[in-house]
Amino acid sequence: MTEIVVRRHVHIKGVVQGVGFRPFIYQLAREHALTGWVLNDSSGVIVEVEGSPADVEAFIEEIPSKAPPLARLESLDLSEVPADGDIAFTIRKSREEEGEFVLVSPDIATCDDCVAELFDPADRRHRYPFINCTNCGPRFTIIEDIPYDRPKTTMKKFPMCPDCLQEYEDPMDRRFHAQPNACPTCGPRLELRIRAHDLDPESMTPTDFKAVETDDPVKKTIGLLAEGKIVAIKGLGGFHLACDARNEAAVAELRRRKHRYGKPLAIMAADVDTARKFCRVSEDEAGILATPQRPIVLLETKK
Ligand SMILES: [Zn+2]
Ligand SMILES: [Zn+2]
């Protein structure tokens, strides 16, 4: 008895890069015992699967319903191709095509799994500010070109250490193909710089900044904010000016320096419950605040 084997070529467009789509396809293909491959190209994701008609059918049906939460499918085109006799399912190197484009995911707020690691003293990324995984972290701001792969992001300057590389290459790992994957050993680090003039009032170059010797720049910065200082936090996409929003003198100084006297400033709150101390937050607004993109939301202030 010969088994019937079919093969399908699947072309998926939409927000499908930088959202864990290839690992998802890989795992789904393995669940259905299919062989073939998946790759990113400049227009989206291309898959070829081969196996029994029922398994191929089920695989295709489950793509839209089981896709990763951050993916947004715009189209899924199918075509029949001759069986190829692949013996495994693999993730192939990305392919570039002239004149194509793909929708790139926005930056995504740190997910619950990463937050749990961030505050776990036993974790190797304990308090590492650039923690991320396939489900969260920077995307749009670090991409220099498509297809979305590490050599085409600003992370190319940070070669992964053996531990990070192992996660990156393991299809069962949460960081499989997470392009910004990094840790304290191999990734970007924090540095706190203070205006030379503040360290030494005699300084002749008041606009120079000097790195401060500290093993905990975050703690040190919190101390400065509490003192009423203004800090510029260099993030992934630019500078973010911050001060203690409850300190009227600090806020007034920030407004003076920014020449922004009337326009509201955004405030940051640790969570929705904290925001509720200062603002009215409806259930809809709370839902928007908690979306993976964590947008700035205009709320009604309490008197
Ligand atoms: Zn994460
Ligand atoms: Zn590392």
Count of C-beta atoms within a 10 Å radius of residue 280:
11
- For residue 6, name the pLDDT band (cuts at 50, 70, 90): very high
Which of 37, 28, 30, 33 has its CA nearest to residue 8? Answer: 37
For ligand 1, the distance from its centroid to the CA atom of residue 207, given in whole angstroms, is 38
For the chain, percent of residues with pLDDT exceeding 90: 64
Which is more confidently placed, 277 or 144?
Answer: 277
When the candidates are 3.90.870.30, 3.40.605.10, 3.30.450.20, 3.30.70.20, the CATH number that belongs to 106-188 is 3.90.870.30
Residue 99 has pLDDT above 70, yes or no: no
- For residue 37, name the pLDDT band (cuts at 50, 70, 90): very high
Residue 220 has pLDDT above 80, yes or no: yes
How many whole angstroms separate alpha carbon 177 and alpha carbon 164?
10
Which of 111, 123, 97, 99 has its CA nearest to residue 45? Answer: 97
Which is more confidently placed, 210 or 77?
Answer: 77
For ligand 2, the distance from its centroid to the CA atom of residue 136, given in whole angstroms, is 17
How many whole angstroms separate alpha carbon 236 and alpha carbon 108?
12
For ligand 1, the distance from its centroid to the CA atom of residue 298, given in whole angstroms, is 26
How many whole angstroms separate alpha carbon 25 and alpha carbon 62?
10
Identical fold for domains 6-92 and 106-188, yes or no, is no
**Contacts (Cβ under 8 Å, ≥6 apart) of 194:** 209, 210, 212
* Nearest ligand, CA 167: 2
For ligand 1, the distance from its centroid to the CA atom of residue 164, given in whole angstroms, is 14
The CATH number of domain 6-92 is 3.30.70.100: yes
For the chain, percent of residues with pLDDT exceeding 70: 95
pLDDT tens sequence across 244-264: 999 999 999 999 999 999 898
* Nearest ligand, CA 115: 1
How many whole angstroms separate alpha carbon 79 and alpha carbon 71?
22
Residue 205 has pLDDT above 80, yes or no: no
For ligand 2, the distance from its centroid to the CA atom of residue 173, given in whole angstroms, is 14
Helix ranges, the chain (H): 21-31, 53-66, 112-118, 162-169, 196-199, 217-226, 248-258, 272-278, 283-289
For ligand 2, the distance from its centroid to the CA atom of residue 187, given in whole angstroms, is 6
For ligand 2, the distance from its centroid to the CA atom of residue 177, given in whole angstroms, is 14
For ligand 2, the distance from its centroid to the CA atom of residue 299, given in whole angstroms, is 39
- Domain positions in the chain: 6-92, 106-188
Answer positive or negative: Cα dihedral of 246, 247, 248, 254. negative
Residue 103 has pLDDT above 80, yes or no: no
For ligand 1, the distance from its centroid to the CA atom of residue 132, given in whole angstroms, is 5
Which of 243, 240, 266, 267 has its CA nearest to residue 253? Answer: 243
Task: Write down the pLDDT at residue 36.
Answer: 97
Which is more confidently placed, 128 or 198?
Answer: 128
